[in-house]
Structure 1
């Protein structure tokens, strides 16, 4: 009864106090932790009642010890849920902030680390209550951890690298990256041991995190999602270069996906063996649309060149064939003159 009254008072006064703040964090924490507060009050009442009842001493010790363990579990569970709500609130308010201290990818690892820390602290509190030697236990755990670490050093290296990737954030889930080996794909997941990348061929690359930490890569989503397209094309010698450049830029603007700002630009790059080599540059809003946009631009260039009489020459090579007898005669004349 007292616990129910306390919870009712907490809901009433707590919500009244929370309404004066500018954020909903306190409301969320209050809603998340109220059931645990109710359990805490009930268990505390039972614990105090048993300690005050005229029962057998051994029964009191066993019962109060068990209830103390339950109390510690409830308290640390309450702390965990309050911290988890704080973490969720922080991420929700900064999900579009690239410079946020903690990204959404780190929520699972942060929750696990918090859970392990609270479990370890709760265990130490309980053991200390029952007069166990904490120092000996910590020493034994340290030696065991050292042995496990030596046996699983590669796995630990991958896990540390995974934690580093989550903190440094060279890429995020959904970003398109290009590896040093030339593979291109979208980041599908970042785990403690490995990172999964879905290639453009719909294959899944699973790469150990330590390898990713020690390699160069290109993140096409940074600093923003825009991507630059390039089309190389050759026109016949004798073509009006300025006219071709203007036509290329105008043709690119006919494609809806090509951005107007920055505007497309065409350049006369080199003199080729059989053509004047031109390059057209343009931007698209999303890197995922780049291949399709290049296809549209190429198709439209062929059409506009045909309409304007601009020739795209084939590579040609001229071979002069001379009779073998003539070559022998020239060689004999050269030898006689020497």
Structure 2
């Protein structure tokens, strides 16, 4: 009888395995509730953003907020979902090593998602500013500085994410920062020329003596169009289709001419000499008339001709004219030169060759050899 009674009583008392199973079931239920709550929150947030976001952003004059909302909505949903998984795992009584491994992996994933979220906001903002600059509006950043600012900010984002991850795994951040500081000082001393080029690159982008697409003339006389302004060097495409790569510090410390500033108009000059028997006023009027006959020459400012100087064998004239784009200056000069040559021949205006008069003097008492 006692054995039977003990068996009946034991049937109503759960065993240790049953207690463990019940405990795990409760923990799993709590984890599912936590994850389900975050998942529902993610769906609700996305639904609210999709439904009311465009209506709220419609009150602003710019489309920047619309673009940011559209880019960050998927990342917000993913972030809330991973947060739900992270906190759900923290409710489970896992083994310490397994818990640290899973928890650490989820934390790193959350940090990566936050970095992506910040990058998308930054990227859309810089694109918006670049488009405003391209459309001619007064943007805060120029088109040349936007990629540079994006790269530098990405370095800070990655650095902040790395510090957050290291702190989560209980690494000494102070010693790491100290080591990086000493290493940076050593690298800076060894690469001072490169750093000088980089600092000069920032100076060029802030001071903006030229922009991408501008045609500049270097102190050496080379002319080309600016293709790219990088951290270390600037690339210039010359008129004969060659690429000049010039260190930024050299460009900062030299004199150059920006033919595209303040606008793309450029002034051309043609020098021509006529014989001393020519009527200077008639020649000047003819030069202006010939310039106006060329379609690419601007009517305003009007072409001008001047009697510049008395040459050894000619009266030196100069014709000045303007064209809309510096890229067509050479072609326009060729057209005017051709017209000058043909019209001078028709009207009998001589372009003389260089003439020198040599006088030979014989001293008295010298005899001319027979």
TM-score, scaled to structure 2: 0.83
Q: Which has the larger radius of gyration?
A: 2
The structure 1 residue matched to 2:246, chosen from 166, 190, 207, is: 207
Q: How far has the Cα of 1:97 moved from its partner?
A: 3.8
Q: How far has the Cα of 1:84 moved from its partner?
A: 1.1
**Corresponding residue of 2:143:** 104
Structure 2: where are the runs of 5+ without partners? 1-38
Q: How far has the Cα of 1:99 moved from its partner?
A: 6.4
**Corresponding residue of 1:329:** 365
Q: How far has the Cα of 1:227 moved from its partner?
A: 0.8
**Corresponding residue of 1:336:** none
Q: Could you tell which deviates more after superposition, 159-168 or 61-70?
A: 61-70
Q: Secondary structure at the match of 1:267?
A: strand
Distance 1:155 1:98 in 2: 34
Distance 2:364 2:97 in 1: 123
Mapping of residues 308-319 of structure 1, within 5 Å: 308-319=347-358
Distance 1:160 1:245 in 2: 51
Structure 1: where are the runs of 5+ without partners? 332-338
Q: Could you tell which deviates more after superposition, 307-316 or 70-79?
A: 307-316
The structure 1 residue matched to 2:258, chosen from 207, 214, 219, is: 219
Q: How far has the Cα of 1:76 moved from its partner?
A: 2.0
Q: Could you tell which deviates more after superposition, 91-100 or 69-78?
A: 91-100
1:22 to 2:61 alignment:
yes
Distance 1:194 1:313 in 2: 48
Q: How far has the Cα of 1:330 moved from its partner?
A: 7.5
1:38 to 2:74 alignment:
no
Distance 1:76 1:241 in 2: 74
The structure 2 residue matched to 1:84, chosen from 123, 148, 151, is: 123
1:143 to 2:179 alignment:
no
Mapping of residues 81-230 of structure 1, within 5 Å: 81-97=120-136, 100-230=139-269
Distance 1:315 1:72 in 2: 80
Structure 1 outlier segments of 4+, above 6 Å: none
Q: Secondary structure at the match of 1:186?
A: strand
Q: Which digits, 9 at most, give the CA deviation of each residue in 1:210-240, with x for residues without a partner?
A: 1111111111111111111111111222322
The answer as to whether partners of 2:132 and 2:139 remain within 8 angstroms in 1 is no
**Corresponding residue of 1:283:** 322
Distance 2:157 2:64 in 1: 22
Q: Which digits, 9 at most, give the CA deviation of each residue in 1:1-25, with x for residues without a partner?
A: 5233432222112222112221111
Q: Which digits, 9 at most, give the CA deviation of each residue in 1:161-213, with x for residues without a partner?
A: 12221222111121111111111111122211111111112211111111111
Number of residue equivalences: 328
Mapping of residues 248-327 of structure 1, within 5 Å: 248-321=287-360, 327=363
Q: Secondary structure at the match of 1:277?
A: strand
TM-score, scaled to structure 1: 0.91
What is the Cα-based RMSD across aligned positions, in Å?
2.0
The answer as to whether partners of 1:234 and 1:277 remain within 8 angstroms in 2 is yes
**Corresponding residue of 2:13:** none
**Corresponding residue of 2:109:** 70
Distance 1:135 1:243 in 2: 84
Q: Which digits, 9 at most, give the CA deviation of each residue in 1:20-54, with x for residues without a partner?
A: 22111111111111111111011011112112234
Q: Which digits, 9 at most, give the CA deviation of each residue in 1:114-165, with x for residues without a partner?
A: 1110111112222233333222111111011111112222222212212221
Q: Secondary structure at the match of 1:89?
A: helix
The structure 2 residue matched to 1:10, chosen from 46, 49, 54, is: 49
Q: How far has the Cα of 1:321 moved from its partner?
A: 4.8
Distance 2:182 2:309 in 1: 68
Distance 1:272 1:230 in 2: 18
